[in-house]
Amino acid sequence: MDSRISARALSAALGGWRTREPAYEALADGIRLLCLDNRLAPRTALPAERELSAALHISRSTVAAAYRSLRDSGHIVSTRGSGSVTLPLRRRDPGGAASAEGAIDLQQASPPAWPGLAGVISEVALSASTLVARTGYDVLGRIELREAIARRYCDRGIPTSPSEIIVTTGAQSAIHLLAAVLLGRGDRVLIETPTYPHAADALRRADARLVGVPVTTDDGWDLDRAEQAFARTLPVLAYLMPDFQNPTGRSMTEQERSVLLRAADRAGTILVLDETTADLDIDRGPLASGFMDGDPALVVRVGSMGKTVWGGLRVGWIRAEGDLIRRLVASRPAQDLGTPEFEQAVAAAVFPDFAEVVAQRSHVLREGRDAAVSSLARALPQWRVPRVQGGVSLWIELDAPLSSALVMDVRSRGLLLSAGPRFSVEGGHDRHLRIPFTASPDDLARAVDILAESWPRVRGGAPVALVEQLDSVV
C-alpha cells in the first residue's frame, strides 16, 4: 500500500457528497468519483469506518454500507489488518482505460491536431539520418527551437534571448521541474481556484501548501483576496494563467496584471505564468505582453504547443532569467534526460506557420464554443453559461450543487466529464461544471442532450434541503 487518507481529508475532498438517497450510495458514489478523477490514487488506505462516520457526522452503518457497495463494484478491497484500500480502475469501469471507446470524452480539453502537422512530420522525417546522428540527450533544447520560441516572445514585445529558454516535454513537465527547483516542504504557493488540476497536483507533490485565490469568468481575479494572500502568506511562488484561464476562460485586464505583479514584487514571490492557453483567442484580440515592469527574476513564463498544435507533440518550454535556467538544467536529469529530438525538430518547423496555426485554432474553437453555447441555451436554460472570448472550456454554473452527482450519472450513459470540485484548490465548486468546447460540434450537441436528459433525474433525486438551501446562495 502506498498512502492513506485521513477521515478529515476525505471528508474535505468529498465536499457536498449527500446528493441522493440512500445516503450510503451517495457516499459510495462520492468516493468512486474521487477514484475516477485520480484524486484518490490506487492503493490508498481509506479511513476506518468509525473515523469516517465521526468526520461526516453519519452512522457507522452508513459508512459500512458504502464500503460494501464499493467492494461490490470493485473500487476497494477490505482486508483484516489493512482496512479498506482503493484498487486501480478496471478496464470496464467508466473512466477506466478502455472506456473512452465509443464514449464522448470531455475530461480533457484538447483540440484535435492542427491539420498541417502531419505534413510537417513527414517533411522532418526526411532528415531522419541527420537527426539520429545527434547524441540525443538534450536537457536544454535545440538552438533552432529556442531561437524560434525567443523570437515569438520578441514579437509580443517581450525581449528574449535563446539562453532564457529551456525546452521541456510539455508544459506539465515544465511546471513539475519548476516546482522541484523552487519549492521546499511547506512553502506557500498562491494559485487560482478553480485551476488547472494537474498543476495543482504537481505543486502539492512538491509538498507545497496551496493558497487559493478565486477567479470567475464574469468578475475575473479577486484582487483583494490576492493582495491579502500575498501580504499574509508571502508565497514563494504564484502559479497563474493570465490568458484564457483554464477552466474559466477569463483573461486578466491590464489592471489585474499590474496589481498582481506589484503584490508579488512586494512579497518577493516568483510569478509562474502558464501561457499554454494564451494563443487560443476567438474574439478577444491581440495577446498583451503584461507583467513587464516587475523584477525580471521574479517573472517566469511557461509555454506549450499542446493546445495550439497538438497535445501529442509533447513540446513545452520555460522562459526565465539565465540563472534560473542553469538551475533547471542542473536539476532536470533526475526527472528526465531531455526532450525528444524528433519532436523538437517538428516544433521548430511549425513555428514559421504559427500565424496560420493560431487562425485555424480560432476557427475550430469558435465552432465548438458556439455549438456548446447554443445547445445549452436550448436544452438547459436554467444553467448560467458565461460568455468566453477564447480558451478551451465553459465554466458553467448549475442551478444546484450537484456537479459530482451529474458527472457520475452521465458516465453510465457514455459521457465522460470532470466535476467542478476537480478544479478546486480548497474544496467546493460543486455548483460548477467544466464543458470543454474542443470537441466537435456534433459531439458537443450529443453531450448536451445527455446532460439535459440526466439533470432532472439527478436534481429530483437529491435531498430537498440540499437543493433548496444551497439554491438561495446563487
Ligand X SMILES: Cc1ncc(COP(=O)(O)O)c(C=O)c1O
Closer of 73 and 335 to ligand X (Cβ): 335
> Quick one: which of 19, 304, 308, 403 contacts ligand X (CB under 6 A)?
304
Interface mask toward ligand X for 140-159; x: CB under 6 A: --------------------
Closer of 11 and 418 to ligand X (Cβ): 418
Closer of 306 and 401 to ligand X (Cβ): 306
Looking at residue 248, what DSSP letter applies?
T
- Would you count residue 171 as binding ligand X (CB under 6 A)? yes
Long-range contacts of 250-258 (CB under 8 A, 24+ apart): 250/215, 250/216, 250/217, 250/220, 250/221, 250/388, 251/284, 251/389, 251/390, 252/220, 252/221, 252/290, 253/220, 254/288, 254/290, 256/220, 256/221, 256/223, 257/288, 257/290, 257/291, 258/293
Q: How far is CA 272 from CA 191, 199, 241, 255, in A?
A: 10, 11, 8, 18
Tell me the number of residues near ligand X by CB under 6 A. Answer: 14
Interface mask toward ligand X for 188-217; x: CB under 6 A: --------x--x------------------
Touching ligand X, residues 315-354 (CB under 6 A): 316
CA 315 – CA 121 distance, rounded (Å): 14
- Would you count residue 172 as binding ligand X (CB under 6 A)? yes
> Quick one: which of 311, 386, 414, 461 contacts ligand X (CB under 6 A)?
311
Question: Phi and psi of 460, rounded to 5°?
Answer: -70, -30
Binding span for ligand X by CB under 6 A among 59-67, 167-175, 186-194, 229-237: 167-175
| 3-state secondary structure (DSSP) of residue 8 | helix
- Would you count residue 170 as binding ligand X (CB under 6 A)? yes
Question: Phi and psi of 191, rounded to 5°?
Answer: -150, 145
| 3-state secondary structure (DSSP) of residue 107 | coil
311: cell is 497535445
Closer of 199 and 451 to ligand X (Cβ): 199
Distance of CA 67 to the CA centre of its chain: 29
Touching ligand X, residues 243-282 (CB under 6 A): 246, 274, 276-277
Closer of 199 and 226 to ligand X (Cβ): 199
- Would you count residue 309 as binding ligand X (CB under 6 A)? no
Question: Phi and psi of 305, rounded to 5°?
Answer: -95, 5
- Site residues for ligand X per CB under 6 A: 170-172, 196, 199, 241, 246, 274, 276-277, 304, 306, 311, 316
